[in-house]
């Protein structure tokens, strides 16, 4: 029997089987964090956006082989309506952020607990859903496949861009080991891009709201394959209405 959940699942259109080579590498307060790659079955979803800096915030469509980060809700939170609502609010917030210097939100999905546990094991490709199960994963009627099964709690997950160019912390550590310094021009470029990202969150995300990152540090400043700056760990953003700040 499927345990009834809110209608938020209609906004989660991916499944864990759309990703392969899962590797757990850390945990958040309410979630497990995985590294993975998009499988051939992944949907070609594109969230094209425009950045505050005036250029096109080229959010990449999910495509086979693309390396991603996946944040999935923990087992202990699957029956917690508050945790589910917060997770959906986080999804909506991340999907609304549109800036070239901020880590990209690529999509979201919902899966059955047992499906994700199988997919996150040593052989994720061994977990193959039936056609009826894929219908469930795609947001169709979940009741059609759950006759005679035990209680199942859908598990939501978020898909984020994965940075392959290392972090500022790693870059600074490499310079320290070589007893060298970050070139002044490169340091200025990083500071300029950081200011643009923070200015967007504080002043341009919404006319009636402010986003506060709360954890800007070298570990949360990363680079893509081309060395472009990206502010990461945006899942801890604090959302404040300007009307509350003026009280």
Nearby residues of 123 by Cβ (< 8 Å), 6 or more positions away: none
**Whole-number Å distance between alpha carbons of 28 and 154:** 19
**Percent of the chain topping pLDDT 90:** 24
DSSP string, 11-72: G--B-GGGEEEEEEEEE-SSEEEEEEEE-TT-------EE-TTSSEE-PPPP-TT-EEEEEE
Query: Among the ranges 39-48, 75-84, 153-162, 185-194, which has the highest mean pLDDT value?
Result: 185-194
DSSP state of 203: I
pLDDT at residue 47 is higher than 60: no
pLDDT band at 11 (very low <50, low <70, confident <90, very high): low
**Whole-number Å distance between alpha carbons of 55 and 67:** 24
Phi, psi of 84 (to 5 degrees): -65, -45
pLDDT at residue 97 is higher than 60: yes
Stronger pLDDT, 138 or 239, i.e. the higher one: 239
pLDDT at residue 135 is higher than 70: no
Q: Are 183 and 42 in contact (CB under 8 A)?
A: no
Q: In the prediction, which pLDDT does 51 show?
A: 35
Give the number of other Cβ atoms within 10 Å of residue 210's Cβ: 16
Q: Are 223 and 166 in contact (CB under 8 A)?
A: yes
DSSP state of 148: T
Q: In the prediction, which pLDDT does 236 show?
A: 66
Q: What average pLDDT does range 211-230 have in this prediction?
A: 87
**pTM, 2 dp:** 0.72
Cα dihedral sign for 57, 63, 69, 75?
positive
Output the average pLDDT for the chain.
74
Q: In the prediction, which pLDDT does 245 show?
A: 47
């Amino acid at each position: 029997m499927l345990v009834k959940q809110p209608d938020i699942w209609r906004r989660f259109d991916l499944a864990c089987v759309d990703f392969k080579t899962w590797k757990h590498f850390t945990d958040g307060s309410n979630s497990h964090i995985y590294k993975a790659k998009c499988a051939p079955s992944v949907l070609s979803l594109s969230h094209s956006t425009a950045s505050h800096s005036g250029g096109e915030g080229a959010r990449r469509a999910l495509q086979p082989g693309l390396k991603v980060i996946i944040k999935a809700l923990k087992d202990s939170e699957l029956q917690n309506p508050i945790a589910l609502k917060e997770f959906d609010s986080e999804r909506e917030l991340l999907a609304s952020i549109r800036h070239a210097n901020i880590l990209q939100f690529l999509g979201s999905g919902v899966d059955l607990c047992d499906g994700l546990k199988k997919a996150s094991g040593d052989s994720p490709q061994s977990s193959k859903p039936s056609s009826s199960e894929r219908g469930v994963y795609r947001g169709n009627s979940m009741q059609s496949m759950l006759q005679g099964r035990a209680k199942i709690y859908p598990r939501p997950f978020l898909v984020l861009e994965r940075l392959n160019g290392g972090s500022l912390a790693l870059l600074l550590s490499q310079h320290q080991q070589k007893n060298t310094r970050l070139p002044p021009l490169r340091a200025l470029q990083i500071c300029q891009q950081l200011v643009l990202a923070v200015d967007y969150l504080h002043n341009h995300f919404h006319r009636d709201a402010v986003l506060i990152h709360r954890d800007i540090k070298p570990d949360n400043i990363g680079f893509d394959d081309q060395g472009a700056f990206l502010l990461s760990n945006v899942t801890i953003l604090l959302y404040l209405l300007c009307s509350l700040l003026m009280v």
